Chains A and B, each alone.
Chain A
Amino acid sequence: MKHVLAALVENKPAVLSRIINLFSRRGFNIESAAVGETEDPKISRLTVVVGGDDKVLEQVTKQLNKLIDVIKVSDLSSGDMTGRGLALIKVSVDRETMGEIIEISDIFRTKIIDVSPKSLIIEVTGTEEKIRAFIDLMRRFGIKEMAQTGLIALARGAKATTIKKEG
Chain B
Amino acid sequence: MKKIGTAIILESLMEEGVEVVFGIPGGVLIPLYDEFYDSKIRHILMRHEQAAAHAADGYARASGRVGVCIATSGPGATNLVTGLATAYMDSIPVVALTGQVPTTLIGNDAFQEANITGITFSVTKHNYLVTDVKELQNTLREAFYIASTGRPGPVLVDLPKDVQTAETDYKKDIKINLPGYKPTYGGHPKQIKRAADLIISAERPVIIAGGGTIISGADEELRELSELVMIPVTTTLMGKGAFPEDHPLSLGMLGMHGTRYANYSVMNSDLVIAVGGRFSDRVTGKIESFAADAKIIHIDIDPAEIGKNVRVDLPIVGDAKNILSSITNEIKIQIKKEKTKDWLAKVKRWREEYPLSFEESGETVKPQYIIKELYEATKGEAIIVTEVGQNQMWAAQYYLCNRPRRFISSGGLGTMGYGLPAAIGAKVAKPDEMVFDISGDGSFQMNCQELATAVQNDIPVKVAVLNNGYLGMVRQWQELFYERRYSGTKLGYLPDLVKFAEAYGAFGTRVTRKSEVRSAIEEAIETDKPAIIDFRIEEEENVFPMVPAGAPLDEIIGGN
Q: Which residues of A contact B (CB under 8 A)?
A: 9-10, 13-14, 17-18, 21-22, 25, 55, 58-59, 62-63, 65-72, 163
Contact = CB atoms under 8 A, between A and B. Distances in A.
Contact of B178 (A17, A21, A68): A68
B93 to A, nearest CB: 15
Contacts of B179: 10, 71, 163
A25 B122 contact: yes
28 contacts: A10-B179, A14-B117, A14-B118, A14-B129, A17-B118, A17-B121, A18-B121, A22-B121, A25-B122, A55-B307, A59-B304, A59-B308, A62-B304, A63-B304, A65-B304, A66-B302, A66-B304, A67-B180, A68-B126, A68-B178, A68-B180, A68-B181, A69-B180, A70-B180, A71-B179, A71-B180, A72-B180, A163-B179
A70 B178 CA distance: 10
Given A14-B117, A25-B122, A68-B125, 8 more contacts: A9-B180, A10-B179, A62-B303, A62-B304, A66-B302, A68-B146, A70-B180, A163-B179
Nearest to B311: A55
A60 to B, nearest CB: 10
A10 B121 contact: no
A17 B129 CA distance: 14
Which bucket holds chain B's interface residue count?
10 to 19
Contacts of B146: 68
A10 B303 CA distance: 21
Interface string B117-136: 11001100110010000000
Interface string B304-326: 10011000000000000000000
Max chain B CB contacts within 10 Å: which of A22, A71, A163?
A71
6 nearest A-B residue pairs (beta carbon): A62-B304, A71-B180, A68-B126, A21-B121, A25-B122, A71-B179
A85 B26 CA distance: 50
A23 to B, nearest CB: 11
A63 to B, nearest CB: 5
A71 B117 CA distance: 20
Contacts of A17: 118, 121
A19 B179 CA distance: 17
Contact of B122 (A21, A58, A70, A72): A21
Contacts of B122: 21-22, 25
A52 to B, nearest CB: 14
A58 B357 CA distance: 43
Max chain B CB contacts within 10 Å: which of A10, A18, A72, A163?
A18
Contacts of B117: 14
A88 to B, nearest CB: 30
Contacts of A68: 125-126, 146, 178, 180-181
Max chain A CB contacts within 10 Å: which of B125, B179, B181?
B179
Contacts of A21: 121-122
B205 to A, nearest CB: 26
Contacts of B126: 67-68
Interface in B181-211: 181
A71 B304 CA distance: 15
B558 to A, nearest CB: 34
Nearest to B155: A68
A3 B308 CA distance: 19
Nearest to A163: B179
Nearest to A60: B304
Contacts of A65: 303-304
A163 B126 CA distance: 22
A101 B444 CA distance: 72
A17 B117 CA distance: 11
Interface in B118-173: 118, 121-122, 125-126, 129, 146
Contacts of B129: 13-14
B142 to A, nearest CB: 8
Max chain A CB contacts within 10 Å: which of B122, B180, B307?
B180
B180 A58 contact: no
B84 to A, nearest CB: 15
Contacts of B178: 68
Nearest to B146: A68
B3 to A, nearest CB: 25
A88 B296 CA distance: 52
Max chain B CB contacts within 10 Å: which of A22, A55, A66, A72?
A66
Contact of B307 (A13, A18, A25, A58): A58
A67 B302 CA distance: 12
A147 B178 CA distance: 36
A153 B122 CA distance: 28
A18 B302 CA distance: 19
A40 to B, nearest CB: 11
A25 B308 CA distance: 15
A25 B123 CA distance: 11
Interface in B75-133: 117-118, 121-122, 125-126, 129
B266 to A, nearest CB: 23
Contacts of B181: 68
Contacts of B303: 62, 65
B294 to A, nearest CB: 20
Contacts of A18: 121
Interface string B252-266: 000000000000000
B127 to A, nearest CB: 9
Nearest to A73: B180
A66 B308 CA distance: 14
Nearest to B308: A59
A65 to B, nearest CB: 7
Interface in B423-481: none
A52 B118 CA distance: 27
Contacts of B118: 14, 17
A22 B304 CA distance: 13
A62 B307 CA distance: 11
Contacts of B307: 55, 58
A127 B168 CA distance: 51
A99 B253 CA distance: 76
A58 B303 CA distance: 10
